[in-house]
A and B are shown apart, each in its own frame.
Chain A
Amino acid sequence: MTALSALLIAKTATAQTSTPEDDLDRLDRAVSTARPASAQTNPHLPPLNLRAGDTLDLAFSRHSFTIPPPVQNSPKAINRLYLDMRWQTPPAGDFGVHLSDRINLVNTSKQAGSTCDCLRNDLRELYTTWSPGDAIFVDLGWTNFRNGVASAFNPTDVFKDRAVLDFDTADASVLREDRLGPLMARGQYVFDKGSITAAYAPRLSDPDPFGEPNSAVSFRTGRINAGERFILKGNVRLGRDFAPEVLVFKTHGDWRLGVNLTRGLGDKATAYVEAAGGSRRTLAADAIQFGILTGALPAQATTPVGDDGKQVLAQLAAGVNYTTNANVTLSVEYDYNGAGLSPDDWRAWMKLGAAAPGLLVRGQFWYAREYAQQFQEPFLQHNIFVRAGSDNAFIRDLSLSGLAIVSPVDGSAIIQGGLDYSINGGYSFGLVAFSSVGAHDTQYGSLPSKFGIAFSISYYIK
């Protein structure tokens, strides 16, 4: 927050009152003497977006733990050279095809373990759309169908399970841009005041274990179509700024109810609430079951803390976005995961793990954490997400962002800062650095990675 304060002070320090004559002088200097920029742009955009780039991630491990992870690698380096493409058929007729794909050449340092050094294709979307009327759409194929209005945690995002391949940022909004869509059928009816959508993704395979080989050509059904999912949702505008979205969905064999709601608060702020609930197992119990199913954990494994059975559990994300006059957007979100570990469960697991070196309980602990990341659910019940970002900060096309995911229970946090600089909307350079801070027995102070940094360069092919 200190850096944010400095940013705000620096940005507002340039402000001063100017007279009309000053304004006209500035106009004369700026516009009248400058050569007009070319505005040659075809409104009929080509249907292909291409981007080439490279990302280098470096992670540095923590060395002392209350419960040591099974494998320690320090430092770790992963380089990804990629070609990213998005394409859709030009607007004509009732049928359309959408493609979103990324071809990666992945190179991993040998200390990093099992990740492949290979060509990897990430098929994010490939689906056809049939529109028998102006307002009816039927999609079939690999579709990235995202739900939820929250920024950090989306309890209603039924298709987020194992959809992200590379966790190279703590910013969920960035992770969402590069995730895999499962094979599904989706129908949507849009009307003047709202819409109704239904989608079904079948179970096509047994689940792959974590760390499965990433072969060059794979639909990854064991990752993204390893469980049956169904969703029915609708929203309708009931007032000027009141259009709640209600969802019924089935995932992990359980039915859940959800709601999404946003509201404007003046001209600078918006507020949102996203919530879901239903009968289910806890996150830890789900993780242990998944480990048994995939053969990663022995069949007799049970949850060391909490309850293995199903119970009615709720999840909630509520937050506010606020934009300052200097165009700094601040977001604060409270996340509650009723299926996550309670503070008492966390302390109990830590105590068990510390007292039982070499036993199953340690492996289960790290397996459950991996599960929480892969299925994008907070491991503990309470989290606070804070983000500040500014586009065109100090100079044009320089974007700065900072975020923190804080455990209100133990004060530990993941802190991340990033910058992105674009030249003429073509080349883009990025830098992201994160650190996990806190005592060894805290939620984020116990993470294997203590510090990480990622460099990226990309070029948008015009």
Chain B
Amino acid sequence: MSRRFDRRSFLAAGGLMILAPATARADDGRKRGQDILGQVDRVRNPGHAFRVKSTLVEYRQGRPQDQVVLDILAKPSPSTRQLRNLARYLAPARDKNKLFLMDGGSMWFYDPASSASVRISPQQRLLGQASNGDVLAANFAQDYDATYIADETIKDADRNLTDTWRLQLIRKAPGATYNKIDCWIQKSTFYMIKGRFFADSGRELKSIYYRDFRAELGGMRPREALIVDQVNTALVTKMTFSDYQATDIPELWLQRDYLPRLRIK
């Protein structure tokens, strides 16, 4: 028994010695990934409440279809720092004044026609091929666990070769839209220039390229996101972000029962 125990102990110790550097590397990868992602979030979102207009145009076989325009208000949660969003349709005419609210834990859709708020899932798409989560602002570091994977040189949306860090994000918060995201971060700027987004099943849903970074609200923010649909390959969606404004958003506005009361100026 003693001899067998010794052999086990020896094997276990040997295994630990082999695994230890790998575990340490994994820990380093996670720490580095999370650090990079924190910087990325600071580029993507200001640290305070803000408002932005988002215009979505879907291109089918290269031809632009009708557009959806949203007035988006986003505010970080004081406790979790996750961004909570309130989006109002400005166009098309049949949808105007419809609202949806994402408060981290849940997503609600309000239609003035039925005077009712309906619970929806983050994956449910109200905006063509773009998920609700693509349009709304999110703090990735709060929603996902990041791991640094490798240094890679890739082409950005304008086909320029760019040195990047490749990160893998795995859903941490239950309300996060995607199970997994592979993303590429431009080293010189911390811009997220590309992401590949995956469903729970592991299937790739879409790739998104971010470009046209400009100074907005005290930082450099993307003005365009180009969504290449991997489920229906005939589709590309362009999201344009404009009219960034720092604004005050009362906590009450982020209550689902307040949606029928909302009167945004």
Contacts and interface: CB of A to CB of B under 8 A. Distances in A.
B60 interface: yes
Contacts of A397: 65-66
Contacts of A17: 204, 230
Contact of A194 (B66, B116, B257): B257
B142 interface: no
A270 to B, nearest CB: 5
A192 to B, nearest CB: 5
B263 A267 contact: no
Interface stretch (A22-30, A306-314, A350-358, A370-378): A22-30
Contacts of B255: 190-192, 194-195
Contacts of A384: none
A176 B57 CA distance: 30
B149 interface: no
Given A24-B159, A39-B240, A41-B53, A264 B174 contact: yes
Interface in B148-207: 154-155, 157, 159, 171, 174-179, 199-201, 203-205, 207
B145 interface: no
B124 A329 contact: yes
Contacts of A37: 55, 57, 64, 67
A378 to B, nearest CB: 20
A3 to B, nearest CB: 19
Interface residues of A, number: 88
B113 A20 contact: no
A20 B157 CA distance: 10
Given A44-B265, A267-B177, A425 B205 contact: no
A162 to B, nearest CB: 17
Contacts, number: 226
B233 interface: yes
Contact of A146 (B114, B124, B263): B114
Interface stretch (B11-19, B22-30, B40-48, B87-95): B87-95
A29 B236 CA distance: 10
Given A15-B233, A144-B115, A267-B176, A325 B57 contact: no
B185 to A, nearest CB: 16
Nearest to A239: B105
B228 A241 contact: no
A422 B58 CA distance: 15
Contact of B90 (A41, A90, A235, A395): A41
A241 B105 contact: yes
Contact of A27 (B92, B200, B226, B243): B226
Interface string B202-236: 01110101000000000000000010101111101
Interface residues on B, range: 35 or more
A177 B233 contact: no
A425 B94 contact: yes
Nearest to A240: B105
A269 B64 CA distance: 31
B234 A264 contact: no
Given A96-B263, A396-B65, A267 B121 contact: yes
The residue in A15, A149, A262, A422 that gathers the most chain B C-beta atoms within 10 A of its C-beta is A15
Nearest to B157: A27
A460 interface: yes
B64 A35 contact: yes
8 tightest A-B CB contacts, nearest first: A425-B92, A91-B263, A30-B236, A460-B93, A195-B257, A30-B59, A39-B55, A241-B105
Interface of A: 11-12, 14-18, 20-21, 23-24, 26-27, 29-31, 33-39, 41-45, 49, 51, 86, 88, 90-91, 96, 125, 129, 131, 134-135, 137, 144-146, 149, 173, 176-177, 188, 190-192, 194-195, 197, 235, 240-241, 243, 262, 264, 266-270, 272, 321-323, 325-327, 329, 391-392, 395-397, 422-426, 428, 460-462
Interface of B: 53, 55, 57-67, 69, 71, 90-97, 104-107, 111-116, 118-126, 128-129, 154-155, 157, 159, 171, 174-179, 199-201, 203-205, 207, 209, 226, 228, 230-234, 236, 238, 240, 242-243, 250-252, 255, 257-258, 261, 263-265
